[in-house]
Amino acid sequence: MTTRRLLPPPTPRLSFRELVPDDLDDMAALLGDPEVMRYYPSTRTREESLRWIEAGQRSYAEHGIGLWALTVRETGEFAGNCGLTRQLVEGEVFTEVGYLVPPALQGRGYATEAALACRDLARDVLKVDRLISIIHPDNVPSRRVAGKLGLTLERTALYYGLPRSIYSTTFGEN
């Protein structure tokens, strides 16, 4: 059985597409940037960035969702990635919305705009009951994005052995 692959619709300023190996230069720059990755255990190497892309491709094939490449509609410029992934948190699997935007494009609302489209896809098309975001407790910008999505702090959980804030929302009768 083939899983139906989904994409959020374009937003006023951004488009979504699946990550492909040709995105390696952009993803290696994004994941190798100390500012972007300051709330992760470390930056990623070029090889690790390729594995990130490959993990996305497996997620598209297995679940129909994943972290998608973002591009600025007006220029085609790479604007990071955003999407929905299945995450194991303390023995339970949840749908998570995640987002990363290059430093040069931060502060323009792109993460919020893209994440809202992903939230709506999760709620309206995937019919998930609950959406989470796993956020480093000190990551104020990501906490703000989560709030704009309607996610609130639920608890602290160990995620890959590290304490993380779990923000969540439920959609009720989907």
Q: How confident is the model over 104-121, as pLDDT tens digits?
A: 999 999 999 999 999 999
Average pLDDT (156-168) is 94
| pLDDT confidence band for 163 (50 / 70 / 90) | very high
pLDDT at 160 over 70: yes
Average pLDDT (19-35) is 97
User: Looking at residue 172, what is its pLDDT?
Assistant: 74
User: Looking at residue 4, what is its pLDDT?
Assistant: 81
Closest CA to 70 of 31, 19, 107: 19
User: Looking at residue 1, what is its pLDDT?
Assistant: 47
Amino acid at 123: R
pLDDT at 73 over 70: yes
Beta strands in 36-108, from DSSP E residues, in sequence order: 67-72, 78-89, 92-100
User: Looking at residue 2, what is its pLDDT?
Assistant: 53
pLDDT at 17 over 80: yes
User: Looking at residue 5, what is its pLDDT?
Assistant: 85
**Which SS3 state, helix, strand or coil, does residue 7 take?**
coil
Question: At a CB cut-off of 8 Å and minimum separation 6, what does 14 contact?
Answer: 70, 71, 72, 73, 79, 110, 113, 114, 117
